[in-house]
Each structure stands twice: as C-alpha cells, then as structure tokens.
C-alpha cells in the first residue's frame, strides 16, 4: 500500500518557551486483550467498523510500524471520523512528528506530517469547574487564534470552516523533543492493545490514545499567569480556498452549535463564517456552555439565533435560499414561542461575574449577525479587550 506524505505550512510562533512539561504516563504495561473482553478504554477509540470500508476506511497502524521508510510509530495521539493521529520518531533523527493518517481514498492513505502538540482546549476545559477557563487564558487564546486565523485568511486565502475547541491545541512548554522522547521511550516495552473483530470479521489491533496534558499555573487568574501558554489552530482537513467556495462539496459547514447565520439560511459564506465560529468557541470556553446546544436540531438554529442575537438583517434574509422556512418576506420570524427558549447575549454573558464591559463588547462584535459587518481578524486584534491587561 502506498503512502502519500505532505507537509503542512507551520503557523507562526508567537510565544517563547518555558518550563518543560512532564508527559502523561503511557498505558503500556498490559498485553493484548481479546475481542471477547475488550478493555474499558477501547470504547473511547476509533470504531472497528471504520476499518471495513475499502473506500473510506482507516489504515491499520501498530506501534513500531515504519511509514515511508522513515517515520517510526511510537504511540497514538487521537482519532477522528476521517483519520487516526500518531506520534512518530524520524529514523536517524531526534525529531518527532504527528502523523495524521487519513481514511483511504481508493488504495492510498494521505498522511499529513505536522508538529506534535499537547491536549486540545476541549479536553483542557473539561478539567475546570463548570468547564469555564480563566479570563486571562481566554484572552491569550483569542489573541493567538486570531493571529493564526489571520494568517490563513490573509496569507493563504483559506477558510478553515471548522473552528471549535477540539481544533485548538496547546503547544508543549519547554523542549518538545525531550517531552516526546520520554513518551516514545516507554513504547519500547510491552504495549497495551485490544484485538477486536470488525463487522466484516477483520481482526483489528487497537491501542489507547495518549494525550499530553497542559499544566495549570499556580495562580491561574493572575494577569501574567498564562504568558508562556501557546495555542495553535489545527485540523484544516475540511478547509476551503476562499476563491473556490462554489466548488466546496457541501453548502453546510461548521458544527451546528457554531454555525454562522449565513450558513444556516444558505446565504453564501466566506471568511466571516470563521469569525463567527471563533466567537462561539470563545463564548463556550468563557461560560463553559455553548450558546446553542451541540445536539440541537438544524431546523431550530435560526430561531435560537434570533432569541440570542436579535432579528436577522433584512438584506441577509433576502439572500438566503432557505430563508422562507424561518422568515417572512419583511424579515420577521415566522416562529413565535409563548416564552423565550434562550436568553439574549447580554444576559448570558452576565453569568460570568468577572466579565467586564470590554469582554462583552468584544463578544458582541465577533458575533455580529450580518457577515458583511462582522469584523475581520485584523480588526479584532486591535480591540481593547484583546490588548488589555487585568
């Protein structure tokens, strides 16, 4: 089987290094388990049926495999619907990489070679009370993701289309080579595995994913506590060139809870949709809950957005190919409820008692309903909240 490798452009580095981070202990003290007695961790890994499809199936990968004659697999970092991600050490080199092995396209698997990272903001937020992050960290995240997104928009002319907490990752503190080398050394011993049968009867060996946690500073609410924290925008697997939106395979982008209004009603989308997705992401990290529930039906999205953000602009409604499902010709909503089904944005933000007027103003601007009036990354980067110090 052939393996195609392509190196993605690395986004700019914005922060200096700091104290080295201790790696998470790899679970490699057990031998393989049979399909009849799968370990508890196996339920959190990629589904066995994902290996059955010859058109879009996972590539079976094992610890110790060598891809492209130079990448030695040392551990699994994660998985998604369309890929598995592995920590790899380059032969005859101290360098480590993250290999994102995409599901097959015919007889080939495209592998994206990127720098290995620590945990995502989604998993990091889960360790905080109410899943809400400290505001100094939130500001740091906003500034850095805006810088990375501006690079995609301005320099690469690329729309990310899938900005969410799970696609923003912490960079390692200190020397990343030492961090990943310590983890890779543990893979030389017995590795925990689970052998299972796919629905078509294929014997599949899986290993648990091993993430690298990001530390918590001693005083997380101090204004300078996160000065060495560095996050990067990841996963451009469903990105789109801004000048080729018409060729994109779907009219619908973004998870439903983070979907921009123009996408919901089919009014055309572009770079402003990324701004909306980032706004929803920052709101969720600020309050610990999304503006709209992640399991909400698509048919309710415009209705809920009206409850939170107010009426859609008439010009936006008139551009929407699906607007008549929710709006009258004058732009008013067709759907009315005896009581509000959500709170306005101001009231939602007031639940964060330490939120100041600058944060509220920033959130209102980034979550502007009209994509033509939604600020760009460069405009948001000069906002007073992004540049303020507590």
pLDDT tens readout for residues 364-386: 999 999 999 999 999 999 999 99
Confidence grade of residue 1 (pLDDT, cut at 50, 70, 90): very low
Maximum average pLDDT range among 52-61, 262-271, 297-306: 262-271
Can you name the residues that pair with 26 across neighbouring β-strands? none
Question: pLDDT value at position 341?
Answer: 63
C-alpha Rg value of the chain to the nearest Å: 22
For residue 338, the Cα-to-chain-centroid distance in whole angstroms is 36
- More confident: 275 or 53: 275
> 62 pLDDT exceeds 80?
yes
Q: Kindly report, residue by residue over 116-175, the tens digit of the pLDDT.
A: 999 999 999 999 989 999 999 999 999 999 999 999 999 999 999 999 999 999 999 988
Least confident among 96-100, 183-187, 236-240, 378-382 = 183-187
List the end-to-end C-alpha distance of the chain, in Å, as a whole number.
55
> 9 pLDDT exceeds 50?
no
Question: pLDDT value at position 354?
Answer: 81
Q: Kindly report, residue by residue over 77-132, the tens digit of the pLDDT.
A: 999 888 999 999 999 888 999 999 999 877 789 999 999 999 999 999 999 989 99
- DSSP secondary structure letter of residue 219: S
| CA-based nearest residue to 97, from 17, 206, 176 | 176
- The pLDDT of 68-84, averaged and rounded, is 92
- The pLDDT of 68-75, averaged and rounded, is 93
- Cβ neighbours, 10 Å, residue 11: 18
| Structure-block tokens of residue 37 | 């007695």
* Residues 6+ positions from 385 with CB-CB distance below 8 Å: 139, 356, 358, 359, 361, 362
Average pLDDT value over all residues in the chain: 86
> 358 pLDDT exceeds 60?
yes
- 3-state SS assignment for residue 285: helix
Confidence grade of residue 36 (pLDDT, cut at 50, 70, 90): low
> 389 pLDDT exceeds 80?
no
Question: pLDDT value at position 348?
Answer: 86
Burial 73-101 (b: 16+ CB within 10 A, else e): bbbbbbbeeebbbbbbbeeeeeebbbbbb
């Amino acid at each position: 089987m052939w393996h195609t490798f392509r190196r993605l452009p690395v986004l700019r580095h914005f922060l200096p290094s700091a104290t080295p981070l201790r790696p998470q202990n790899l679970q490699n003290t057990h031998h393989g388990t049979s399909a009849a007695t799968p370990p508890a961790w196996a339920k959190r890994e990629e589904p066995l049926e994902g290996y059955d499809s010859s058109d879009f199936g996972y590539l079976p990968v094992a610890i110790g495999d060598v891809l492209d004659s130079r990448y030695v697999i040392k551990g699994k970092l994660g998985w998604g619907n369309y890929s598995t991600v592995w920590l790899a050490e380059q032969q005859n080199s101290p360098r480590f990489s993250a290999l994102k092995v995409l599901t097959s396209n015919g007889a080939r698997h495209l592998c994206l070679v990127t720098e290995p990272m620590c945990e995502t903001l989604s998993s990091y937020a889960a360790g905080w009370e109410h899943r809400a992050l400290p505001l100094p960290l939130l500001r740091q995240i906003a500034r850095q993701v805006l810088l990375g997104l501006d690079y995609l928009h301005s320099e690469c002319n690329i729309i990310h289309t899938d900005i969410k907490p799970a696609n923003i990752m912490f960079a390692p503190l200190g020397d990343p080579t030492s961090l990943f080398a310590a983890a890779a050394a543990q893979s030389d011993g017995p590795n925990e595995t689970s052998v299972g049968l796919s629905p078509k009867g294929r014997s599949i060996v899986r290993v648990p994913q091993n993430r690298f946690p990001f530390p918590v500073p001693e005083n997380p609410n101090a204004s300078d506590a996160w000065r060495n924290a560095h996050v990067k925008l990841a996963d451009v697997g469903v990105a789109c060139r801004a000048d080729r939106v018409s060729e994109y395979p779907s009219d619908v982008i973004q998870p439903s809870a983070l979907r921009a209004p123009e996408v919901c009603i089919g009014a055309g989308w572009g770079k402003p949709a990324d701004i909306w997705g980032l706004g929803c992401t920052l709101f969720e990290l600020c309050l610990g809950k999304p503006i709209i529930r992640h399991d909400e039906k698509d048919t309710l999205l415009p209705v809920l957005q009206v409850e939170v953000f107010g009426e859609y602009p008439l010009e936006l409604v008139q551009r929407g190919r699906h607007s008549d499902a929710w709006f009258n010709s004058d732009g008013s909503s067709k759907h009315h409820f005896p009581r509000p089904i959500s709170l306005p944005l101001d009231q939602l933000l007031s639940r964060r008692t330490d939120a100041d007027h600058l944060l509220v103003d920033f959130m209102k601007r980034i979550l502007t309903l009209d994509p033509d009036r939604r600020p760009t990354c460069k405009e948001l980067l000069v906002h007073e909240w992004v540049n303020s110090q507590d």
